[in-house]
Amino acid sequence: MTFDLAKIIRPKIYNLEPYRCARDDFKDGILLDANENPYGPTQPGLKESGLNRYPDPHQIEFKTAMAEFRNGENHDYKGLPHPLAAENLCLGVGSDESIDAIIRACCVPAKEKILVLPPTYSMYSVCAHVNDIEVVECPLITDDNSFQANTDEVIRTVQRDPSIKLVFITSPGNPTGAKVETSRIEKILQNWDRGMVVVDEAYIDFCGGSTAPLVTKYPNLCVLQTLSKSFGLAGIRLGITFASKEMARVLNSMKAPYNISSLTSEYALNAIRPDNLKIMKQRANENEMEQNRLVKELTSLPNVHKEPVGGLDTNFILLKVGSGDGDNDLAKKLYYKLATESGVVVRYRGSELGCTGCLRITVGTKEENDTLVKEFAKLLSQLTSN
């Protein structure tokens, strides 16, 4: 199988030259090249902040540090052609910008398609529809509660339909909480060369085993990550795409030249310093302990199914309420009462495939979880005793 990226990317995008400015060549001196305000910000106290200057358009320092972080975790993938480097990364304003960019790069509007594996993250379909791209569905395996990719069916679907250019796999899944087995992802990569497989790893640090290093082996793989979840930086909006150097070049050519702000860059760099990485991992461990406690306490309640739906590879749990296969009416009422009477906001997910009667609950702090358990038990009892 021979993969040719030039046949996947839309020609005018593949041949794009990235935006260049004088600052690419000269960063010091009297800077009169970019029409910036030389007096600094108008707000008192910000004069020395440097915020009157455009941010670094390339973010090489962060990209290098992030690549080294993922290389250092690479215990499962031996014998790869080479380690990740800064040239394998493209940054976006959250993963949503990255999703949109990959769709625009690969799919011709009104002609080509993406494939998604429901239940999954809804922004893949939103971005596709915005770009006039059709969405094909190949559901995850739900009957055994594994929520794994139906690998053979995915391969059959993309081989039958050459207009499918992208396969989006969320791993660990949202709302399923289950990490998709790497062997399944590799099987798709090895049996399809007419498009790209995009693995969205927003929650990967809660379970480990990122597929990011595999982009050096499979040119038809992109891996999306974010600082929003395990790093606790949802407010800075930083998404990361790992890809082959050729694909990363395309994405970096497409992006707005200054899409990552100076403030975002500063927080991102601090987040991946060794002492802060240690804190991130400690908090991921704390999340796992609290997650296990929530599962134990909430599944022991009457009218809650005794096993979570999906997996526990993220910072949330998916619980089913009601008898039989679950009760959406009960789940909706419980969701509403938790928010309006108890001030505890969870997420109703009963309309998703395989998730009838389900609520998705983010793992909070110990104190927040104590309140959740107390209010959940009280309101569920009230609703089921009437």
What pLDDT is recorded for position 34? Answer: 85
- What average pLDDT does the structure give for the chain? 95
298 plus 255 within the same structural domain: no
Residue 116 lies in a domain: yes
Residue 121 lies in a domain: yes
Specify which of 12-26, 43-57, 187-201 reaches the highest per-range mean pLDDT. Answer: 187-201
Of 27-31, 107-111, 325-329, where does mean pLDDT reach its minimum? Answer: 27-31
pLDDT confidence bin for 19, thresholds 50/70/90: confident
119 plus 245 within the same structural domain: yes
Residue 144 lies in a domain: yes
pLDDT, mean of residues 77-93: 91
Residue 32 lies in a domain: no
263 plus 170 within the same structural domain: yes
Query: For 217-267, what is each residue's pLDDT tens digit?
Result: 999 999 999 999 999 999 999 999 999 999 999 999 999 989 999 999 999
Cβ 188 vs Cβ 151: under 8 Å: yes
221 plus 363 within the same structural domain: no
Query: For 287-308, what is each residue's pLDDT tens digit?
Result: 999 999 999 999 999 999 999 9
- Choose one of 272, 305, 321: the last residue of a domain: 272
pLDDT, mean of residues 100-128: 97
158 plus 11 within the same structural domain: yes
Looking at the whole model, is its pTM more than 0.85? yes
Residue 50 lies in a domain: no
Provide the number of structural domains found in the chain: 2
Query: For 50-67, what is each residue's pLDDT tens digit?
Result: 898 899 989 999 999 999
What pLDDT is recorded for position 76? Answer: 67
pLDDT confidence bin for 277, thresholds 50/70/90: very high
Residue 35 lies in a domain: no
Would you say residue 35 has pLDDT above 90? no
pLDDT confidence bin for 79, thresholds 50/70/90: confident
257 plus 313 within the same structural domain: no
From 213, 203, 208, 133, select the one nearest 169 (Cα to Cα): 203
What pLDDT is recorded for position 266? Answer: 95
Would you say residue 74 has pLDDT above 90? no
Domain span including residue 162: 5-19+57-272
Residue 42 lies in a domain: no
Could you give the percent of the chain with pLDDT greater than 70? Answer: 99
Task: Determine the Cα–Cα distance for residues 194 and 178; give it in Å rounded to an integer.
Answer: 27
- Choose one of 272, 295, 310: the last residue of a domain: 272
Query: For 312-355, what is each residue's pLDDT tens digit?
Result: 999 999 999 999 999 999 999 999 999 999 999 999 999 999 99
pLDDT, mean of residues 143-171: 98
pLDDT, mean of residues 165-188: 98
374 plus 292 within the same structural domain: yes
313 plus 262 within the same structural domain: no
Could you give the percent of the chain with pLDDT greater than 90? Answer: 86
CA distances from 78 to 72, 199, 216, 245 (A): 12, 20, 12, 20
**The CATH number of the domain where 89 resides is what?**
3.40.640.10
115 plus 196 within the same structural domain: yes
pLDDT confidence bin for 31, thresholds 50/70/90: confident
Residue 244 lies in a domain: yes
- Choose one of 221, 252, 272: the last residue of a domain: 272
**The CATH number of the domain where 287 resides is what?**
3.90.1150.10
202 plus 298 within the same structural domain: no
287 plus 179 within the same structural domain: no
Would you say residue 32 has pLDDT above 70? yes
Strands 134-137 and 358-362: unpaired
254 plus 311 within the same structural domain: no
